[in-house]
Structure formats: structure tokens, C-alpha cells
Amino acid sequence: MENSKTKNKKFSKQEAITSLVLSLAVLLLLNVVAAFFYLRFDLTAEKRYSLSTSTKTLVNGLKDEVVIKVYLDGELPAGFVRLKDATKDILNEMRAINRADIQFQFQDPLEGKSEAEKKDILDELRKQGLTGTNLTTQGKDASTQRIIVPGAIVHYAGQSFPVQLLENQAGFSPQEILNNSIVQLEYKFANAIKKLSQYRQPRVAFLQGNGELSRFDMADILNTLIAQRYQVQEINIDSTFGIPSRFDAIVIAKPRMAFDEKQKYKIDQYIMRGGNVLWLVDKTTADMDSLKESLTGQFVVDRELNLDDQLFKYGVRINDDLVQDINLSGAIPLVIGNLGNSPQTQLFPWFYSPYLISQNNHAINRNLDPVAAQFASSIDTVKSPGVHKTILLNTTDNSKALRTPTRVNFSLVGERPDPRYFTQKNLPIAVLLEGNFQSVFKNRLAPEFLAVNDSLEDLKFVAEGKAAKQIVIADGDIIRNEKRNDESAYPLGYQPYTRQTLANKDFILNCIEYLTDNAGLLETRNKEVKLRLLDATKVSESKTEIQLINVVLPIVLTILGGLAFGYWRKKRYAK
């Protein structure tokens, strides 16, 4: 009987040792497998850790190695640690798809450097497209300041492209800015890889011939597009038989002379063949330079560009009005007196310069700051079969559309507006049109013209168009940059009087990106991560209880679990 108990004890010990060895072997095997495979299950409601199909296709199709240097490392506040972790998650997801061609590293470029070396490094990074951020850390006795560079440089085939990780958004809380920055990470990295790896750069033509803005008026957006690896070209609409289909998109920026039927036909047929258009149209003659030069103001009428029938056929009507907004608008300086021989000026709200907002309803306008306009008109959408319409920009809830002809002057500037007259809400200023458009010249052309035209394959008349995209903006100044006294360009969206930078550049870039993007990468901007913030009042009231639950309770449960396991083990092997 005693020998039997001894044998049982030996057998139990051998069984325990065997079980332990097997468990360790399984754990070791799992670790080895995990080293070669990056496995992850995205259980979040928004699928925040899942890459889009377009991003996966892009990463899978790489022909060379992508090396990404992320300059976000070292001791960081909690918010930047979260941004760093989110960046690492996105890059790990990309590397899981193509381990051979996606490499990345995190580093603090300023760590251990002297002040002179830091200045040189920051200057070099600035040249590459990254800007530093001043970071203030509050210690026990005093606060300390340091500069960090929340950005990355993507390298591919001997080229590089900057990625600014932190969004710069006025009017948003730090939590919202951080959240929006994390949301845009996939798009920013995918876009950078696409710019570097695409075999063909998107081609964008800026039309001339009808008094459009000059390259000096659009210097900042043109330079930015070139830096973003677009092929940009100006073409005179009268110097060609038709607008070449090799252009992925054309931009018509603030024309001031009427279009004749021949010019309209060229634009129409470009669209019918699948071409995409960004229209920036001033419907009225209102102009700030003319207004400043007149003592009695400017009499504003329809500019008569002869585009009404064409835009109507495509699905929109730009109204004969001027939009005012008393909730969100720019400011202008006016002389209020003299101090000695020097005029004294003061800034006053200028309701004819509305700051346009979006409903965050599309990849183009998601998470954008307001966009500055000047003498904008409202847009109505009209019935057009096969064309989908999306409002991209609109005014606020306290707006008014002033019908033209009318006189505009500075006489009412400085007076408090009566809200009873500003009751129109969300007046559309920018509209996206997508679908198969019908030609405005359908059933309008003479048989003789069609016979000659159809004999030339490249010029054959098309009445029902291929799928195309158009964006109609009822203000030409949205793409125009202000200029300094030396005629150099301010950044697009910068307001010299208020020293604000609005989102004009981001909006125009997103428009052109969407019009030329066949891969659908811009759609990744639609990703949304909801902020689930703690209730500050409840946290304050239940601080001790929360701390006990989160700190003490896990320790108590661990101890109880250990005691229970020890009791069970002792009882089992005592038999």
C-alpha cells in the first residue's frame, strides 16, 4: 500500500514536470512563430487598426524598399506617446503586408546634440518639409522647454517625401487635434509612398485665355503641387483643337472674360472623355481692389461669363448674389483717425469674406479648418440624371445672400448687424459632382459640323460622357494667395490683416488629389476615430474609488488566485 502511494507521488511529479516542459515548449514555439508573423485582430468599432484595400494594394505592389525615419522618440508627454504608438501600429500593419519592402525606425534627431547642432538639424529638416514644435513640460519646481519634430521622412528609390504627423488645426482642443492626427496617419504614409513609387505623375493643366488668375496669383499652390510631384502646366484654350486627354484634371481659376461657344465645346468634350475639372468661378464683378479705389463703393452686377447653361447641364446653378455671414468671417482695416501725420487703422468684421465650413461628409473636407472666401456666391443643385452631388463647403447658420445688381461699400462696416436679416442657413459654396455627364451641346450642333468633326477620331463628338468628376466653387479667390509688398507670395490661406492661416491650401490640394486619384487613397481620410473622453466631474467625485478598483483590486485578485491555486495543488498531490 505504501509502495503504491510512493509510485503515485513519483508519477504525479513526472506528470507535472512533463506538463511544465510541454507548456514551455509550446510558449517557445509560439514566440518563434510570432517573430515571423505579425498577427492582429481589430475589434474596434471604427476598424481603426485596419488598412484600407487601396493601401494594401499599394504596399503589396512595391518594387523597391521603403525606409521610413520617424523623428518621434525619447521622453514624450502622454499625448505624443499615443501619437508615436499609433504611428508604430500603422507602420507595423504595412510591414505585415510586405515585410521585405517596408522598414522603419524611430529616433530623436536632437538627442545629445549641442544648441548649434540642433539649429543645423532643424534647418535641414525644415528644408526637407518638416517643422519643429515647442514642447513645454511642467516639473515640480519649474517648467522646461524643448523642441520636438513630430514628423517622418519616407525614402524610396533615392527619393524622399516628408510626412507631418501632427495636424495644425486652429479652434480644436488638444485631444481633438491629436485624434485627428492619428486618424490621418494611414492616408499620410500611403500618400507619401504613392507619390514616390508611382511610375507616372498626375498631370494638371491650368487653363488660360479668359482672364484667369496668373501664376503669380497662384504661386503658392503651384509650387506646392510641384513639390507634391504633380506635373503642372498652363495651356491657352485657344491654342489647341481640344484639351488633351493626357491631363488628369484641369483647373479654371477665376475667369474674368466670357467664354465663347468654341471654348465651351473644348471643355465639354474633355469632360465627356472622362476628364475632371476644378471650377473656381466669380459669378459677380465684385472686387476688393475696385472697391478700395472708389469713394462711393462698387456697383456689382453679373460677370456674364456665359457658363450658366453649361454648369446647369452638369448639375449646378451659381446664383446672382453675394453671400454674407455674421458668424464667421474675415476682417479689414479701415482708417478711424490720425495721430499726427500717421493714419490710425482698426480691424472691422467684413461679412463679404465668409469663412466657409464643412459638414465633414467627404474625404475632401474631413477635419478641415474653415476656408476663407471673398465675394462668394451661393450654389443651387439641379436635377441631372446619373450625377451624384455632395456639398463640400457652406456658410454658417447666420447668413444672407444679397441679390445682384447691388452696391457694395464700406459705409456699414463697424455697425452691429441685425441678426433678423441673416437667417439663411448653410448656403452651399462648393459642390462635388460625380457621374456620367451629358454634353451641353447634345442636339445643338449642325449636321455639317458633326460630319466634319466625326471624320477625325480624336475630335469625334461625344454626347454621353464617361465617368468623370467636377468640383464647382462659386468663388475664384479661394485659390488666390495674398502677396507681400515685394510681390512675393504669402502661403495660400494666410490672412495678412488677422495673421491667421486658414485651410484654403489643404482644401484645394484635397480637391486636386481627389480629381486625379484613381487608386482611391484619399478615401482613407474618411476613417473616423471617436473620442471617448472620461467625464471629468465623475472622475473627480469618484477618484479614490476608481484608484482602488484599478490599482488595489487586481493585486487582491492575484493574491486570492495564488492562494486558491496553492490550496488546490496541495489538496491534489496530498492524495
Q: Specify the pLDDT at position 16.
A: 66
pLDDT tens for the chain, 575 residues long, are 555 555 555 556 676 677 777 777 888 887 776 666 555 655 555 556 678 888 899 999 899 999 999 998 888 888 889 999 999 999 999 999 998 889 999 999 988 888 888 899 999 989 898 888 887 766 666 667 788 889 999 999 999 999 999 887 666 777 888 888 888 899 999 999 999 998 889 999 999 999 999 999 999 999 999 999 999 999 999 998 899 999 999 999 999 999 999 999 999 999 999 999 999 999 999 999 888 888 788 999 999 999 999 999 999 999 999 999 999 999 988 877 777 677 788 899 999 999 999 988 899 998 888 999 999 999 999 999 999 999 999 999 999 999 999 999 888 787 888 899 999 999 999 999 999 999 999 888 766 666 656 655 667 889 998 999 999 999 999 999 998 888 889 999 999 988 889 999 999 999 999 999 877 788 877 766 554 555 555 656 677 777 777 777 788 888 887 788 777 777 766 65
pLDDT of res. 49: 64
Partner residues linked to 231 by β-bridges: 203
Radius of gyration of the chain (CA): 31
**Helix, strand, or coil (residue 394):** strand
Look at residue 560 in the predicted model and tell me its pLDDT. Answer: 82
Q: Which residues pair with 502 in a beta bridge?
A: none
CA end-to-end distance (rounded Å), the chain: 13
The stretches of 471-517 forming alpha helices (DSSP H) are 504-516
Please give the Cα distance from 194 to 160 (Å, whole number). 12
| C-alpha atoms less than 13 angstroms from C-alpha of 146 in its C-beta half-sphere | 18
The Cα 148–Cα 127 span in angstroms is 16
Share of the chain above pLDDT 90, in %: 51
Q: Is residue 373 helix, strand or coil?
A: coil
Contacts of 335 (CB under 8 A, 6+ apart): 343, 344, 345
Return the CATH class of domain 203-516: alpha beta
Q: Work out the number of other CB atoms within 10 angstroms of the CB of residue 95.
A: 18
The confidence score (pLDDT) of residue 13 equals: 64
Q: What is the pTM of this model?
A: 0.82
Q: Look at residue 372 in the predicted model and tell me its pLDDT.
A: 96
- For residue 329, give the H/E element and its range: strand 329-339
Are 429 and 395 in contact, with CB atoms under 8 Å apart? yes
The per-residue pLDDT for 160 is 93
What is 63-184's CATH number? 3.40.30
Per-residue pLDDT, 156: 94
**281's grid cell:** 468661378
